[in-house]
A and B are shown apart, each in its own frame.
Chain A
């Protein structure tokens, strides 16, 4: 046992850091430094730059374009990329659909979709949740009826992140309404978002952004060849995907970036007669976040290295620990960055600022984004299975209660 990075790992970290510094487009870097979420084009461009370097499909086997990194190298890369901050690899592509196809897809599906997913030629979205099926995902109702060599899909999905940007959707549908167990009547389909009968309705979230959507399916025809794995075995695929998703939600590098943002604001502003950064309570708050980040980092390495040694490919129940602790930390660090902004956390004046572009007000812009990210990340304890559900999983799967 040794917690220190090896010399190779340290060299790898430096290499990643240098690559990001030298290759991240400056306008993207500047926007993200101020705390803005990346634009669609920022994400696409950056993922293509990474893919060219062989660094996009980071968790995939080499034959499908993976870099052949160790689990530790992957963690280092993700952390550095988040902390830079640079646009994150599109998780729908890299963490979700890629590994699913590699594990469950046909050769034809792999060949058709994997290279395009790695290069973000296709933007994927996740069509799982429904109005009546959130935590209880297995109660989903969107129906797919087999007619000749097509499924005909009817129903609706909700909370579909970035569906308005997406080219393809991986969709959970009910193919057997009469199965003995609800989980046994579900299938996993790949759907071209341009198929007739699909309507995307935007949902604006409390940070004012358009990230979420409702997606309606009205007699949408999906070729049988677009089904992943066996009919009515889609739940196995979904569980595999959700386990991977959970691990990725911790986003330690993002917490690190938010804490850095809080510190840099605190160096600039007054507090009770001195700089905020000099206030002992503020320093303790930062110190506490750093303690929590360290604990999460080590737990994450433990889960990841244990996972690398397991052969069954099943997610470690400890991934629920990462999800809960990681999102608590994300929320605490965005909260800290917002509080550091002080009264500047209150205004929404991006448009005002843009109108007065002759005099960019960077502190105001960053402060506004601190509140926006605080608001948006309230969802981190909801998506990917709520934190209450994660604790239920731990109670049952680990504690056998």
Chain B
């Protein structure tokens, strides 16, 4: 067991920390939000320059051959800064799908373009009726004269509105909720028959509803056997979001600590009240437990035993989700009225954690999966 970072990892973390400290203050972020895309193309260029966009890809694809722990370090800083860019969608979700299922030609075309910042991806799997149930796919894929065509609808696709290429799941055979018979497909965002409706989520990041009518698609991997890939893409997403939640918790804890030292009521800082001290101590304990669980997730992403991996990932999602909810709620509580305002940063971290919790299965969903396995 080893929790130490390598020299390279430390360098990576430092450089991202510095970039975000320089360019991603809360005020700067407000400026990025004004862009119609809802995020900063200039920052995206910076991430490309730093090598973040190709971080987990092989060197032959313009990447750095990094692993989930490297991604964790980046996501933690993004969580602390509340980064708005489509990193999760493009590099983590889309990138993982391509790495796991892409042909040599597909990887050779797409991954270098992603690493250089020329192409953005999105992972269009979720459907309205599926809610969190991962194998529930009703969108269909049919073979036609010219290849494959997709029909159906995808819901709450992270950054689906700015993606150039979509990784779409669709059913080739079987019933709605069967694990067998699902395929992954690559679809051009401007393909005929594809309609997108972009909107913001509670945390101000972007997402889209996507409607597909007879849309031409290219298989990514073997059509019908994609469920294990989908599972791993989602696991990578859960791990990355866990790191983001840790960054957000750190930010919330430190702003609350600072506030409790400076805000005075009854002639003394509110942090001199034992109940406030204990609450901050409880937040610290939750945060550290949450951090452990986010690490568990990051270190489980490459675990070869699928059952073990699934169990660890579900445990992590429950653990960091509960921690983030507690820390978020107490952050607002200890700030009093000011914590309820849009102008103050606390509520934005709160809402990022809220969105993370309701993505890729919430606490109840992962607990139920774990409960199913209790012997």
Contact = CB atoms under 8 A, between A and B. Distances in A.
Interface of A: 129, 134-136, 139, 158-159, 203-206, 208, 212, 269-273, 276, 279, 281-282, 285, 338-339, 341-349, 351-352, 371, 375, 378-379, 381-383, 386-388, 391
B30 interface: no
B201 A379 contact: no
Nearest to A279: B368
Nearest to A353: B199
A135 B365 contact: no
Contacts of A159: 337
A129 B351 contact: no
B351 A270 contact: no
Contact of A342 (B266, B267, B358, B372): B358
B373 interface: no
A205 B341 contact: yes
A281 B202 contact: no
B362 A342 contact: yes
B342 A388 contact: no
B307 interface: no
A118 B337 CA distance: 29
A345 B356 CA distance: 11
CB-CB nearest 10 A-B residue pairs: A206-B347, A136-B265, A204-B342, A349-B199, A342-B131, A159-B337, A346-B201, A136-B266, A135-B265, A345-B358
Contacts of A391: 275
A339 B302 CA distance: 30
A326 B267 CA distance: 30
B374 to A, nearest CB: 12
Interface stretch (B75-83, B233-241, B285-293, B328-336): B328-336
B343 A203 contact: yes
Contacts of B156: 343-344, 346-347
A260 to B, nearest CB: 19
B229 interface: no
Contacts of A203: 341-343
A272 B368 contact: yes
Contacts of A375: 202, 347, 350-351
Nearest to B276: A388
Contacts of B199: 347-349, 351-352
> Considering residues B355, B358, B369, which has the most beta carbons from chain A within 10 angstroms of its beta carbon?
B358
A90 B286 CA distance: 39
B201 A135 contact: no
B367 interface: yes
A15 B47 CA distance: 65
B177 interface: yes
Contact of A212 (B197, B340, B368): B340
Nearest to A364: B128
Contact of A205 (B200, B273, B340): B340
Interface of B: 126, 128-133, 136, 155-156, 177, 197, 199-202, 207, 265-267, 270, 273, 275-276, 329, 332-333, 336-337, 339-343, 347, 350-351, 354-355, 358-359, 362-365, 367-369, 371-372
A135 B336 contact: yes
Contacts of B340: 205-206, 212, 378-379, 382
Contacts of A349: 199
Contact of B354 (A205, A345, A386): A345
Contact of B342 (A129, A136, A208, A269): A208
B131 A269 contact: yes
Nearest to B265: A136
Contacts of A388: 273, 275-276
A371 B343 contact: no
18 contacts: A129-B337, A269-B131, A271-B133, A272-B132, A272-B368, A272-B372, A273-B177, A281-B371, A345-B202, A346-B358, A346-B359, A347-B156, A347-B202, A351-B199, A352-B199, A371-B354, A378-B339, A388-B273
Contact of A158 (B128, B333, B337): B337
Contacts of B267: 136
Contacts of A345: 202, 354, 358
A205 B337 CA distance: 9
Contacts of B336: 134-135, 382, 386
Contacts of A205: 340-342, 347
Contacts of A339: 358, 362-364
Nearest to A388: B275
A270 B130 contact: yes
B12 to A, nearest CB: 30
B131 A204 contact: no
A382 B275 contact: no
A281 B265 contact: no
B255 to A, nearest CB: 15
Contacts of A135: 265-266, 270, 336
B279 to A, nearest CB: 8
A223 B343 CA distance: 36
A279 B367 CA distance: 12
Contacts of B266: 135-136, 139
> Considering residues B177, B337, B347, B365, which has the most beta carbons from chain A within 10 angstroms of its beta carbon?
B337
B283 to A, nearest CB: 14
Given A135-B266, A343-B156, 4 more contacts: A270-B129, A272-B365, A382-B340, A388-B276
A26 B340 CA distance: 32
B334 to A, nearest CB: 9
A382 B337 contact: yes
A383 to B, nearest CB: 8
B358 A343 contact: yes
A370 B358 CA distance: 13
B207 A270 contact: no
Contact of A271 (B155, B339, B368, B371): B368
A270 B343 contact: no
Contacts of A282: 364
Contact of B337 (A134, A347, A352): A134
Contacts of A208: 342
Contact of A343 (B131, B364, B371): B131
A378 B126 contact: no
B145 to A, nearest CB: 33
Contacts of B129: 270
Nearest to A331: B329
Contacts of B273: 388
Contacts of B363: 339
Contacts of B369: 272
> Considering residues A208, A269, A342, which has the most beta carbons from chain B within 10 angstroms of its beta carbon?
A342
A199 to B, nearest CB: 18
Nearest to B362: A339
Nearest to B331: A378
Nearest to A343: B156
A383 B336 CA distance: 8
